[in-house]
Amino acid sequence: MRRLLLTLTAATTLAVPAAVLVSTSAASAASTVTCKKLTGTIASSFTVTSCSPKVKKGADKSASGASSALASGSGTLTWKKSGQTTVVSLSVTSAGQGGCPSGSSEYDVSGSVTGGTSTYTHSGDTVSARACVSASGSLSLVKKTTMNL
């Protein structure tokens, strides 16, 4: 389960995605992308959708990645429309049920963008999310929260 959550964290990460706890320097930038939805499973892949890059009009609105690649604390999200990438470094902590429905567990993700080819995100951008993992391994965001990259 922890491996699945770590994977989610990376996407979410994106990700989303996923809770990631990574310290960043004072020079780190704020998040430049906000995503309203997280789907997928901890065992395979995840997708963040309804994303709003704050600096680009007509930009990609979704990105996805392999949940397993993020279990190690880092991973890559690929933006659907452009094929550009965002590389993240993440950590995850569990808040128990937290803000998730009964039978699910909340994972708080924090970290930072460390690279990639995306023009929407930049190295040093903060990554944060509150993700729910159901008993079946399905991923979602805690209601009324977003994933920030």
Angstrom distances, CA of residue 91 to CA of 60, 104, 107: 25, 19, 10
Question: Span 11-35, mean pLDDT?
Answer: 49
CB 5 within 8 A of CB 17: no
| Selection from 82, 66, 70, 74 nearest residue 120 by Cα | 82
Structure tokens at 142: 């805690």
Structure tokens at 125: 């951008």
- pLDDT confidence bin for 81, thresholds 50/70/90: confident
Single-letter residue type at 84:
Q
Gap between the Cα atoms of 68 and 144, Å rounded: 26
Q: Which residue has the tokens 């009324």?
A: 144
| Selection from 129, 76, 136, 75 nearest residue 107 by Cα | 129
What is the longest distance spanned by two Cα atoms in the chain? Answer: 40
CB 126 within 8 A of CB 109: no
Sequence-ordered list of residues with C-beta below 8 angstroms from that of 58, at least 6 positions apart, any chain: none
pLDDT (tens digit, 9 = 90+) per residue, 101-135? 999 999 999 999 999 999 889 999 999 999 999 99
pTM (predicted TM-score) = 0.77
